[in-house]
């Protein structure tokens, strides 16, 4: 949208007052009055007022021109603008375009040459003075439209991942956010890739960076752009982290494949809390209050015992370890390069690996890879040992010819045998059934997994904090879903251990993703999801208040209603919760009539860590109801999360699990 300042005139050829013009531009396009006035008074022949203007704003301008009889000098130039209908959804993955529609980040940048197309051109000969020479071989190369690309992302799964990631970041006070990746290990298809914080793709420069809201207007432009880049980055691909104990799955697979260990040899490893990989170089087990003692590999994985894996790492050795790291593509910068910028993984040079470096690598510390690399390696174990390249684009459509190119699954190599892969998955099942991963269980499904808690070196502990993670796989046989949850610098009441912070998040995500994908349940593993006192809520709308109260109270519910009229003649027009769901006996149903139709709102309290009895009482006092999944223990997750404002009577879904002392 532009103007010719000296030509902006009414229909009677009188010049439009600059002040009037500036006021209109300011109101319609959101620019400052001072900026608009300067352009309206400009002596230039043309001034750009706004670019990439939404249709609604153009319509408002046209209406203003018509109302004020302004007929010349205002130019509505045809332009195109990339619009993202889902706003924040998958923002860090998709990325956005600049004013010229060139991709600036994420998939928009990585696939810009495919999405943009090419301009037409004439190929001819010229003389030394640049003049065209008549040439019968002159060629015209027509322009080509950009192509459409189709992603492997499932929008519903992406929403599930983002919902629970946002809750986890808030509940665990994760200063640096987190990410979730969900992948099909057989095809490499990335079903979801969520990052937090995210931003609105339609206004990326208005992102409110965590921790800078109060000082945003006082920091320099350079500081602002650096902060924005951190928000825009796809941390699942571009940022490196120490995977911690989730990496023990890789060490286990290498040891089993090389015959250095078996899964259930009794007393194979010994934990005395402190282990010396070299003289005067003590490294402690994460559990410092009691030694794990003698263990098999399965028990060591269940306990996430560092000394046991340091001993296994010493058996394997650096040369064999690095051979497998390369086979798992852990040294590569190719994994994820078709998604976003990839940072080079950080490993100690093989010639510099000593006993201490070998020991720390065995349990996932003092080297750095991307979350996508970790889940790709674990997915290989879940795919009978075959490493598959992660796939984000499944089809490219030529919009000129409507032809479609399929991007096929790329099986890179067999890294370990199916026999080894099956053994590791079986141990992963033990971790969730009996080990540090019990909070990742999902009713009705066989879930395997491994928690991870990595700590930075001492000099960076305060700045970087811990990283808590959990990798979850299901089903154990014919695995179809692998989910990695990573939380950076958690400082909430649940602590920083991966099993306790990231494990419940993985459980929440998988509990919705697995049924959504139509993966059948295993009846032998179904837990009690509701108590024996659960009762179906009946529909009492269109009944008199007296009838409604009688029905609900006979069902075992309490009733709350604000009424001044006759209960025998006044009708119920609405209720909360609605009919059809199951609630615990003693839950409260809120009724509304024509004289009092408005529902009150309330904020959800934080009930994580509470017993069912405590949580029920707290929610009831907040005019909320509870629905419980699990048999005994404490609340490990709640949905919706705390501090969310909802209507009175809303049901808060909670998952309870037995409290664990060991949550590494």
The three-state DSSP-derived secondary structure of 503-552 is: HHHHHHHHHHHHHHCCCCCCHHHCCCCCCCCCEECCCCCCCEHHHHHHHH
Q: What is the mean pLDDT of residues 396-413?
A: 89
pLDDT score of 629: 83
In a domain, 471, yes or no: yes
Highest mean pLDDT pick, 53-57, 185-189, 288-292: 185-189
pLDDT score of 531: 47
* Statement to judge: residues 389 and 426 lie in one domain: yes
Residue 429 has pLDDT above 70, yes or no: yes
Report the range of poorest mean pLDDT among 22-36, 196-210, 391-405, 561-575: 196-210
pLDDT score of 139: 62
pLDDT score of 662: 52
> In whole angstroms, how far apart are CA 659 and each of 273, 364, 634, 655?
23, 26, 6, 12
Residue 424 binned pLDDT confidence (cut-offs 50, 70, 90) = very high
Residue 140 has pLDDT above 60, yes or no: no
pLDDT score of 525: 40
Q: What is the mean pLDDT of residues 535-563?
A: 94
Q: Which of 75, 107, 134 is the last residue of a domain?
A: 75
How does pLDDT run across 591-619, given as a tens digit for each residue? 999 999 999 999 999 998 899 999 999 99
* Statement to judge: residues 561 and 521 lie in one domain: no
In a domain, 365, yes or no: yes
- More confident: 380 or 57: 380
pLDDT score of 636: 84
* Statement to judge: residues 581 and 616 lie in one domain: no
Q: What is the mean pLDDT of residues 551-575?
A: 93
The enclosing domain of 581 has a CATH number of 3.30.10.20
What's the chain's average pLDDT?
88
What percent of the chain has a predicted confidence (pLDDT) above 70? 90
> In whole angstroms, how far apart are CA 204 and each of 56, 295, 482?
20, 52, 30
CA distance 664 to 452: 6
CA distance 381 to 374: 11
* Statement to judge: residues 548 and 513 lie in one domain: no
Q: What is the mean pLDDT of residues 378-386?
A: 97
pLDDT score of 349: 96
**Residue 598: CB atoms within 10 Å:** 7
Q: Which of 576, 593, 610 is the last residue of a domain?
A: 593
How does pLDDT run across 271-319, given as a tens digit for each residue? 999 999 999 999 998 888 889 999 999 999 999 999 999 999 999 999 9
**Residue 479: CB atoms within 10 Å:** 23
Residue 137 has pLDDT above 80, yes or no: no
Nearest-CA neighbor of 651 among 619, 607, 610?
A: 619
Strand, helix or coil for residue 574: strand
pLDDT score of 123: 58
Q: What angle separates helix 418-434 from helix 248-257, to the nearest 10 degrees? A: 140
Strand, helix or coil for residue 150: strand
pLDDT score of 433: 92
Residue 486 has pLDDT above 90, yes or no: yes
Q: What is the mean pLDDT of residues 47-71?
A: 85
Contact 599, 630 (CB under 8 A): no
* Statement to judge: residues 470 and 340 lie in one domain: yes
Q: What is the CA radius of gyration of the chain?
A: 31
Report the range of poorest mean pLDDT among 119-133, 248-262, 382-396, 467-481: 119-133
In a domain, 629, yes or no: yes
Q: Which of 493, 525, 557 is the last residue of a domain?
A: 525
* Statement to judge: residues 443 and 494 lie in one domain: yes
CA distance 383 to 381: 5
pLDDT score of 413: 96
Contact 593, 570 (CB under 8 A): yes
- Which residues pair with residue 386 across a beta bridge? 414
* Statement to judge: residues 414 and 542 lie in one domain: no
Q: What angle separates helix 306-316 from helix 248-257, to the nearest 10 degrees? A: 40
What is the span of the domain harbouring residue 570?
Answer: 536-593
pLDDT score of 639: 85
In a domain, 298, yes or no: yes
End-to-end CA distance of the chain: 58
How does pLDDT run across 60-99, given as a tens digit for each residue? 888 988 888 888 888 876 666 677 889 899 999 999 887 6
pLDDT score of 129: 62
What percent of the chain has a predicted confidence (pLDDT) above 90? 57
Contact 253, 428 (CB under 8 A): no
Task: Report the domain count for the chain.
Answer: 4
* Statement to judge: residues 541 and 627 lie in one domain: no
* Statement to judge: residues 257 and 406 lie in one domain: yes
Highest mean pLDDT pick, 221-235, 346-360, 631-645: 346-360
Residue 364 has pLDDT above 90, yes or no: yes
């Amino acid at each position: 949208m532009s103007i010719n300042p000296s030509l902006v005139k009414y229909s009677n050829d009188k010049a439009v007052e600059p002040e009037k013009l500036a006021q209109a531009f300011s109101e319609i396009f959101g620019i400052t009055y001072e900026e608009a006035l300067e352009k309206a008074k400009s002596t230039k022949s043309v001034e750009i007022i706004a670019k990439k203007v939404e249709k609604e704003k153009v319509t408002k301008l046209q209406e203003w021109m018509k109302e004020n009889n302004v007929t010349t000098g205002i130019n509505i130039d045809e332009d195109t603008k990339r619009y993202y209908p889902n706003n924040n959804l998958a923002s860090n993955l998709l990325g956005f375009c600049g004013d010229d529609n060139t991709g600036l980040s994420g998939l928009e940048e990585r696939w810009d040459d495919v999405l943009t197309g090419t301009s037409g051109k004439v190929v001819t000969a010229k003389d030394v003075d640049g003049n065209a020479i008549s040439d019968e071989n002159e060629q015209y190369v027509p322009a080509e439209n950009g192509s459409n690309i189709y992603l492997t992302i499932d929008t519903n799964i992406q929403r599930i991942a983002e919902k629970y990631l946002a809750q986890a970041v808030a509940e665990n006070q994760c200063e640096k956010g987190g990410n979730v990746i969900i992948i099909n290990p057989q095809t490499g298809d990335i079903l979801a890739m969520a990052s937090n914080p995210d931003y609105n793709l339609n206004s990326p420069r208005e992102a409110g960076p965590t921790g800078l809201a109060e000082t945003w207007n006082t920091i320099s432009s350079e500081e602002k752009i650096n902060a924005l880049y951190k928000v825009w980055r796809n941390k699942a691909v571009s940022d490196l982290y120490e995977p911690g104990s989730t990496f023990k799955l890789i060490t286990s697979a290498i040891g089993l494949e090389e015959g250095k260990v078996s899964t259930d040899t009794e007393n194979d490893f010994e934990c005395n809390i402190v282990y010396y990989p070299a003289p005067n170089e003590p490294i402690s087990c994460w559990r410092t209050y009691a030694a794990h003692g003698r263990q098999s590999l399965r028990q060591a994985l269940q306990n996430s015992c560092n000394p046991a894996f340091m001993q296994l790492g010493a058996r394997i050795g650096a040369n064999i370890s690095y051979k497998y790291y390369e086979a798992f593509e852990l040294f590569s910068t190719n994994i994820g390069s078709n998604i976003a910028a990839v940072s080079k993984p950080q490993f100690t040079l093989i010639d510099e690996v000593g006993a201490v470096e070998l020991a720390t690598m065995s349990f996932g510390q003092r080297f750095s890879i991307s979350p996508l690399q970790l889940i790709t390696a674990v997915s290989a174990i879940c795919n009978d040992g075959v490493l598959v390249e992660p796939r984000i684009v499944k089809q490219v459509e030529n919009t000129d010819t409507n032809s479609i190119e399929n991007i096929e699954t790329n099986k890179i190599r067999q890294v370990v045998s199916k026999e080894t892969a099956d053994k590791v998955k079986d141990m992963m099942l033990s971790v969730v059934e009996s080990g540090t991963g019990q909070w990742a269980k999902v009713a009705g499904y066989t879930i395997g997994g491994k928690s991870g808690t990595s700590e930075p070196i001492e000099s960076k502990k305060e700045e970087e904090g811990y990283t808590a993670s959990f990798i979850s796989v299901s089903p154990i046989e014919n695995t179809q879903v692998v989910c990695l949850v990573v939380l950076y610098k958690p400082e909430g009441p649940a602590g920083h251990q991966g099993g306790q912070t990231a494990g419940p998040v993985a459980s929440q995500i998988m509990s919705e993703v697995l049924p959504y994908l139509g993966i059948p349940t295993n009846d032998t593993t179904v837990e009690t999801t509701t108590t024996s006192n659960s009762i179906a809520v009946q529909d009492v709308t269109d009944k008199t208040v007296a009838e409604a109260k009688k029905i609900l109270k006979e069902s075992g519910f309490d009733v709350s209603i604000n009424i001044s009229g006759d209960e025998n003649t006044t009708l119920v027009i609405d209720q909360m919760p609605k009919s059809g769901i199951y609630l615990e006996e003693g839950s409260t149903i809120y009724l509304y009539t024509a004289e009092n139709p408005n529902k009150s709102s309330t904020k959800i309290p934080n009930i994580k860590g509470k017993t069912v009895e405590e949580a029920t009482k707290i929610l009831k006092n907040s005019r909320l109801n509870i629905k419980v999944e699990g048999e005994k223990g404490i609340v490990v997750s709640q949905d919706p999360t705390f501090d969310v404002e909802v209507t009175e009577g809303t049901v808060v879904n909670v998952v309870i699990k037995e409290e664990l002392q060991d949550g590494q």
